[in-house]
Amino acid sequence: MTDLLHHRIDTFRAQRRVQATSLIITVFGDAVLPRGGRIWLGSLIRLLEPLDLSERLVRTSVFRLVKEGWLAAETVGRRSNYALTPAGRRRFEDASLQIYSSRAPLWDRRWRMILLVGDLDAKLKEALRRALAWKGFGLVGGNCFIHPGAQLADALDMLMADGLGAALPALMPLVAADFHSALAASDAELVRRAWDLDALASDYAGFIDSYEPLLAQLRAAALPEQADELAFLLRILLVHDYRRSLLRDPELPEVLLPADWPGHQARLLCKELYQRLEPASNRHLERFLRLADGSLPPFDTALPQRFPDHDMLVT
């Protein structure tokens, strides 16, 4: 009964270009963060080997993440753990809240804005755009970043943590209670200007097409015994593919989304498939996720539950 499950892994292996760094980010966010945010490099190499990621590719990708400030090396004798930096951990925790939540937020019908009112050079402005896009902000008119529910103070703190403090004097954060009269646009028009929802809907549709048959197979018959590694690999690919769509998703309140928004179906699909894979995949992690001293790091009980059955709506 595992033909489709193995086929998904084979499809990944057959890719001409594998974004190893992005996949390792998924592994850290899904498997390593809940166990303290650190892992022995040899353990990471072992976990990814079945996906045909070579030791050299994993090492190169990890070193790139260190250079970019996501990870830091911790030498233990002749071995090294790689741990999330404070900035990296903050980003992973923010991403986890987005990936593993189960319901969209309500809206207070006020738009959060960050206006660019000063001059920035092109490089800094592009870095600002990327950082705010990570927090879900859309860009209207070239100098106005908008979001219906983001915490402005958190967004500015994030810019500081990302080394973009030099841009703050050129920014003006505002909350607009009557945004329409200011820009002569409806809510739907603002959404259309700020985000490409058609492209995002296409991404979600592709995700659904890829994983719905796998869920149907697991509903028909449970995973066989000795399938722990298969469950782990599918769980990582599931979260990896879902995360790639979420990176472009501003998580708009339902009232601002088109009817029959495929993101809702994708979220429910990911939740159920993840929960079916989780027990077996956790057994695999208990066998192979290790620190440099050979120990299994304990669970971080302070982290929120993954895909809770009764999510509170965020206001």
In a 3-state reduction of DSSP, which class is residue 144?
strand
Using left for φ > 0, alpha for ψ between -120 and 50, and beta otherwise, residue 307 falls in left
Report residues of the chain scoring pLDDT below 50: 181-184, 311-315
Q: What count of other Cβ atoms lies within 10 Å of the Cβ of residue 133?
A: 16
DSSP state of 221: S
pLDDT tens, 27-48?
Answer: 999 999 999 999 999 999 999 9
pLDDT score for 22: 92
pLDDT score for 177: 67
Length of the chain: 315
DSSP state of 83: E
d(CA 37, CA 32): 5
| Angle between helices 228-246 and 3-13 in degrees, nearest 10 | 60
Task: Indicate the pairing of strand 171-176 with strand 111-116.
Answer: antiparallel
d(CA 293, CA 2): 35
d(CA 315, CA 306): 20
**Domains with residue ranges and CATH for the chain:** 111-176 (3.30.70)
Chain centre distance of CA 28: 11
Of the candidates 104, 94, 145, the residue with the CA atom closest to the CA atom of residue 315: 104
Please state the pTM of the whole predicted model: 0.87
Task: Please answer whether residues 118 and 170 qualify as being in contact, where contact means their C-beta atoms are separated by less than 8 angstroms.
Answer: yes
pLDDT tens, 179-192?
Answer: 554 444 688 888 98
Task: Please answer whether residues 5 and 233 qualify as being in contact, where contact means their C-beta atoms are separated by less than 8 angstroms.
Answer: no
In which residue are the tokens 């209207």 written? 140
Query: Please, what is the Cα angle at 4 between 34 and 234, to 5 degrees?
Result: 10
pLDDT score for 103: 64
Chain centre distance of CA 225: 30
pLDDT score for 315: 31
Burial class (CB in 10 A: 0-12, 13-18, 19+), 222: exposed
- Number of helices (H), then strands (E), in the chain: 12, 7
Name the CA radius of gyration of the chain, rounded: 21
Buried/exposed 48-57: b ≥16 CB within 10 Å, e otherwise: beebebeeeb
Which residue type sits at 93? E
